[in-house]
Amino acid sequence: MIHYFGDHALDTETCELRRGETTVAVEPQVFALLAHLIAHHERVVSKDELVAEVWGGRFVTDATLASRVHAARKAVGDDGQRQAVIRTIQRTGFRFVAPLDSSAPPSRSMNIGSAADRPSIAVLPFVNLSDDAKQDYFSDGITEDIITAVSRIRSMFVIAASTMFTYRGRRADAREVARELGVRYVLEGSIRKDGRRVRVSAMLVDGTSGGQIWADRYDRRLDDIFAVQDEITQQVVGAIEPELDRVERERARTMRRATDLPDWDRYLQAMEVLYRGRRIGSGEDIGAAIRMFDELIADSPEFSPAYGGLAHGYFFLLLFNLTDDREHARTEGLRIAQCGVQIAIDDHLCQFGLGAMHLARREPELAIAHMRTAVGLNPSFGRAWSYLGTSMVWSGRAAEALPVLETCLRVSPRDPMVGSSFVRCAEAHLALGDLEAALSWATRAVQRADAQFWSNFAQLAALGLLGRHDEAASALERLLARRPDASIELFRTALPIADPALRARYADGLARAGLREFGEH
């Protein structure tokens, strides 16, 4: 039997869930949960009944059940805030509340993007500008790979490739496409292949105004066509993700700050406050962001990105030494991060948050494992590449870390937090004994608009080890102007370097540059 609701169809005979003409991949347990709720849509289904039906009565934790309900909602474009399809009945169970129509397929004019409150994007087929029409396969390959890569960003609602390829060969205006598909953003591009060289141009457009948000072009030799295709895909998606994040946070900032906003907008508002706190080193802002994430989790415990954001708030409290109770921050941040991964093990933001907490706890090998999982889930997530490299530097694997940090800088050069990768490159070169390279990277970090005081620490250590005392004196003044309590003790307490050799060399450089042990300047 086929059950139609909104733009979805659930086929109990083929065990398929479809959105329009696209099959939605769901785990068997998630499909069984959806099917049972639909079959009994006229009443509330208790948690015990779901456990008996879907898990055969085996013991199941509340976190596991919440994870499957979250996955079911995600599959049908719902979330824990809207509950337009699956409603939670407090202390009772769940009910399928979307209108059902088992007699006719959904209307083709349905606004596909309206099913979700998340930011939505359509990737138009990249246009082949080469004279050879046989090169269409390369353009199509780039397009499909980008759609697949963007789909890995859990925060994005992405129009499927099967729909987008219906636009191939059409002269489509981005605003018209956005209206037809109900999306906020459109990515369009072109490919020009000339002999053994190829140029790929891409542009991200605001679907409402038609304004350009981002554009870039990539020139490559086609020594290995598939390697080039993979590299360009990763770089395009790595570039647009922070741009979308920035635009979405700006949009959320203008909205009213109330708990009746969709979960995603509340999350973005909290992230905006958290980023501001990180940028200016404000414990007040980071504390406010933590409270916002706490409230969001209390209202929508299945909304997994909030757990990653909350864990990162605790990470920043520790990294910038903005709390008097470091043990509580380490313990609570780890607990929250673990809860997030239990709810959504395939959420790269949750894996990232858990890795960050292990990093803060001087457990770099565990951090490396979770950061590897995060970049596996979303290879274009530049921040996870940065933290993966950081974990390697701080665990004594500096030579291995440098290519990882270079990947971060290549994949996401416009990320607002990319300056921290410059600092980690400086620390890697400190560990390897290349002091001139360490100073160069640290100085580049200090000069960035998003520079943190740790960039000043790295610059000061390099100057001290190089014996450049006059420059070190000036650098020390700049550090103390930014962080008056700067000291070797602060370095040892807040920067969670697990490698004793790097920690000793770093502290030696700071002492040679004139930094006092306990901030008695």
pLDDT tens digits, residue range 327-353?
999 999 999 999 999 988 888 899 999
At residue 463 the predicted structure's pLDDT band, cuts being 50, 70 and 90, is very high
Residue 156 has pLDDT above 80, yes or no: no
- Residue 77 φ/ψ region, left for φ over 0, alpha for ψ in the -120 to 50 degree band, beta for the rest: left
72, 80, 61: which is closest to 31 by C-alpha? 72
Residue 521 has pLDDT above 80, yes or no: no
At residue 6 the predicted structure's pLDDT band, cuts being 50, 70 and 90, is confident
Q: Which H, E and C letters describe 58-116, residue by residue?
A: CCCCHHHHHHHHHHHHHHCCCCCCCCCCEEEECCCEEEECCCCECCCCCCCCCCHHHHC
The two three-digit tokens of residue 90, written as one number: 């407090």
- pLDDT for the residue 252: 67
CA 169 to chain centre: 33
Strand 157-158 and strand 185-194: the pairing is: unpaired
The pLDDT of 165-182, averaged and rounded, is 81
Contacts 24+ apart (CB under 8 A), 205-209: 205/174, 206/247, 207/122, 207/174, 207/175, 207/177, 207/178, 207/179, 207/183, 208/175, 208/178, 208/184, 209/175
Residues facing residue 120 across a β-bridge = 157
Residue 111 has pLDDT above 60, yes or no: no
Tell me the average pLDDT of the chain.
85
Q: What percent of the chain has pLDDT over 70?
A: 92
d(CA 460, CA 440): 12
Global model pTM greater than 0.95: no
For residues 436 and 447, is the Cβ–Cβ distance under 8 A? no
Residue 254 has pLDDT above 70, yes or no: no
CA 142 to chain centre: 22
The pLDDT of 165-172, averaged and rounded, is 79
Q: Which of 250-259, 286-295, 397-406 has the lowest mean pLDDT?
A: 250-259
At residue 113 the predicted structure's pLDDT band, cuts being 50, 70 and 90, is very low
- pLDDT for the residue 474: 97
At residue 89 the predicted structure's pLDDT band, cuts being 50, 70 and 90, is confident
At residue 114 the predicted structure's pLDDT band, cuts being 50, 70 and 90, is very low
The two three-digit tokens of residue 278, written as one number: 């990180």
The pLDDT of 442-450, averaged and rounded, is 90
- pLDDT for the residue 145: 84
- pLDDT for the residue 360: 96
At residue 399 the predicted structure's pLDDT band, cuts being 50, 70 and 90, is very high
At residue 140 the predicted structure's pLDDT band, cuts being 50, 70 and 90, is confident
Q: What percent of the chain has pLDDT over 90?
A: 40
d(CA 242, CA 269): 15
The pLDDT of 274-283, averaged and rounded, is 87
Residue 104 has pLDDT above 60, yes or no: no
Single-letter amino acid, residue 498 = A
